[in-house]
Amino acid sequence: MFLKMHLLMMSTLSRAYIKDLEKIRPSSILDLIHSGETLSVSASARARMPAKRACARCGYVSSMEVCKACVMLVRTGQFLANLKL
């Protein structure tokens, strides 16, 4: 639980920091994206990464058989069905 809260706080702080950078230098987000695209990944790290495949339901790129968006849609539909009286 603590780890989840810590990660949530770090992501919130990271977003705020990036927005502050963008105020100072508007091209900072594009610079970050460019830096991320030019990073090289070692062969051992690449071997541990999940394989890219297509979602069985919508066809979008996913590392799982069914993407998170489709899973969320199914769960939302089940939740709404349970609410009906």
DSSP string, the chain: -HHHHHHHHHHHHHHHHHHHHHHH-TTHHHHHHHHHHH----HHHHHHSPPPEE-TTT--EESSSS-HHHHHHHHHHHHHHHH--
Q: Is 24 part of a structural domain of the chain? A: yes
pLDDT of residue 65: 92
- State how many domains the chain has: 2
pLDDT of residue 3: 65
Q: Is 19 part of a structural domain of the chain? A: yes
Domain span at 17: 1-39
Same domain for 77 and 58? yes
Q: Is 75 part of a structural domain of the chain? A: yes
Q: Is 45 part of a structural domain of the chain? A: no
Taking the model in full, what pTM does it have? 0.43
Q: Is 78 part of a structural domain of the chain? A: yes
Same domain for 57 and 80? yes
pLDDT of residue 81: 73
Same domain for 75 and 54? yes
